[in-house]
Structure 1
């Protein structure tokens, strides 16, 4: 139970967690407060949009449609991991759900009851994030998008002193809903828990507002708004605002962008080497000729998170440090995705697919 964050506090908290945030139009006053109370808050609800493309998804969530007036959430998380704030206050995202679920979330219960009733106003008590995805089970979830969902949920948990148990999916709240589809909420809660167990994020340096006078930059092949912003000593949100970009993920080669006057692209530098877990050998994953089920290692947690990130997670719970059948099924799905078939796709992990997965060092 908590008082809703103000617009300023929400914006600051999201950016302090390391997220790129774009303020969409008049999001601070875009709400449904005239239709009912807003708060006290009990948790964060995750959805998928059933749409593709950032610009139209953000506009839809900001305005709503004839059957469901907007805003349809507080923030839209696009496939590049950018959060677009579209509402502040009561929004049409949760609808009526199960009161037993709300009580379990408020109590941060270890397990949620089955959502078999629609008798409680969820728009009053939950923050909502819509994540751009078709929700058909085929549309991939990029790693940066999953990380942004994790960060956004952790942001509100930190702000209110909640644990990961205050984060739920729409499918756990309202009977008949399937969102989010493509990853499990158990796996997302595990990610949020890991983030909350770490140190609080360091406060980023204050970025000065863009200069009144501007220079110009011509978009080249391979450029992204993030890379251009870094080269000109600003950030993607400010650059998007400076150029009035409705969809910061859509840049065209040859497009002219305004950049802070006097800034020069930083000289190219060799990227820092990313430290990945080296292939531990097939025997690490086996007990004789069988999977080493029950074996514990932080490597399995790191492996599982990467499998979820690349769309091969087959977890109902986890991933965690103890090797289980879900890990085996997930990795075999990854080996098939890499083009292997038959026995070549079976457990244990091979060196080529392990190197390609890029499991970070625990």
Structure 2
């Protein structure tokens, strides 16, 4: 059991773990505390939103709806790996669940199957809603999974918990199926690996350190397929524009988009690549030829 983190301590813990945090207006005091206690807290519950789009998903989780007023979680994790803070305190995310599951979370032991709904989870858990349709087909980008891992590990590290303190909503109650599309066993393994390392380190798709010389070294194909939000992407886009390979309606900016991929494909074709070698995903040869300035 633990006293909930203050808003400042929560923010500090997330940033120390390398989380890309977006603070929304009023998040520090947006809660349902007038409906009951928040705390002692015992763990983290992971959800999917059954929605698409970052802005609309954040608005839904912040405001809720007539039958279930917001906030519906403490933070929304979007597909680009950004963690949107929208509430602090009691939120309408976990609902009723099994007291035997809560006992297992407290003991950090194997979870039983949830068979009854006799305990108020909103009082005992932090909640992260993750943007996904939850149909088993909507993809979970690497950047989003990395953010779930980092944000969960941040709370565990701050409270002295281990990975078994992080559960899925479907592990709390038999009335839910979220999250769907990855397994909580795999996610807990990732969190455990991160906790065994220092803060900010771990298993996610972090690009290798940049060369402090003139040009940015190739950060690896996985860096781009994780749809990063990085100054490296802006610097790359500016070089593509300078080379006459722009397909941008606006920008370029730090978030990797399909406009970046289309522009990069133009650069690949300019170099003479064809077919799958000109698919818009950067490779080492074309990257080195682009000579992207070092962006720190």
| TM-score normalized with structure 2 length | 0.70
Q: Provide the residue aligned with 1:96 in structure 2.
A: 96
Q: Provide the residue aligned with 2:215 in structure 1.
A: none
Q: Distance in 2 between matches of 1:107 and 1:256?
A: 49
Q: Distance in 2 between matches of 1:191 and 1:168?
A: 13
Structure possessing the higher relative contact order (Cα contacts under 8 Å, 6 or more residues apart): 2
Alignment of 1:98-247 (within 5 A): 98-109=98-109, 111-201=110-200, 226-227=230-231
Residues 275-295 of structure 1, C-alpha deviation per residue, up to 9 Å, x if partnerless? Answer: xxxxxxxxxxxxxxxxxxxxx
Alignment of 1:1-362 (within 5 A): 1-109=1-109, 111-201=110-200, 226-227=230-231, 253-254=249-250
Q: Distance in 2 between matches of 1:225 and 1:188?
A: 22
Relative to structure 1, is the Cα distance of residues 23 and 228 closer, same or farther in structure 2, using a 3 angstrom cutoff?
Answer: farther
Relative to structure 1, is the Cα distance of residues 224 and 167 closer, same or farther in structure 2, using a 3 angstrom cutoff?
Answer: closer
Q: Distance in 1 between matches of 2:228 and 2:120?
A: 41
Q: Distance in 1 between matches of 2:116 and 2:181?
A: 24
Residues 240-270 of structure 1, C-alpha deviation per residue, up to 9 Å, x if partnerless? Answer: xxxxxxxxxxxx733599xxxxxxxxxxxxx
| TM-score normalized with structure 1 length | 0.57
Residues 207-259 of structure 1, C-alpha deviation per residue, up to 9 Å, x if partnerless? Answer: xxxxxxxxxxxxxxxx985337976xxxxxxxxxxxxxxxxxxxx733599xx
* Greater percentage in helix: 2
Q: Distance in 2 between matches of 1:166 and 1:106?
A: 7
Paired residue total = 216
Task: Give the match's secondary structure for 1:83.
Answer: strand
Task: Give the match's secondary structure for 2:46.
Answer: strand
**Structure 2 stretches lacking a partner, 5+ long:** 202-226, 236-247, 254-296
Task: Give the match's secondary structure for 2:180.
Answer: coil
Relative to structure 1, is the Cα distance of residues 103 and 159 closer, same or farther in structure 2, using a 3 angstrom cutoff?
Answer: same
Q: Distance in 1 between matches of 2:229 and 2:184?
A: 30
Task: Give the match's secondary structure for 1:123.
Answer: helix
Q: Distance in 1 between matches of 2:107 and 2:27?
A: 31
Determine if contact 2:234/2:252 at 8 Å carries over to the other structure.
Answer: no
Q: Distance in 2 between matches of 1:131 and 1:147?
A: 12
Q: Provide the residue aligned with 2:212 in structure 1.
A: none
Q: CA deviation at 1:200?
A: 2.8
Determine if contact 2:17/2:150 at 8 Å carries over to the other structure.
Answer: yes
Q: Distance in 2 between matches of 1:254 and 1:113?
A: 51
Q: CA deviation at 1:201?
A: 3.1
Q: CA RMSD in A?
A: 1.9
Q: CA deviation at 1:12?
A: 1.1
Determine if contact 2:80/2:228 at 8 Å carries over to the other structure.
Answer: no
**Structure 1 stretches lacking a partner, 5+ long:** 203-222, 232-251, 258-362
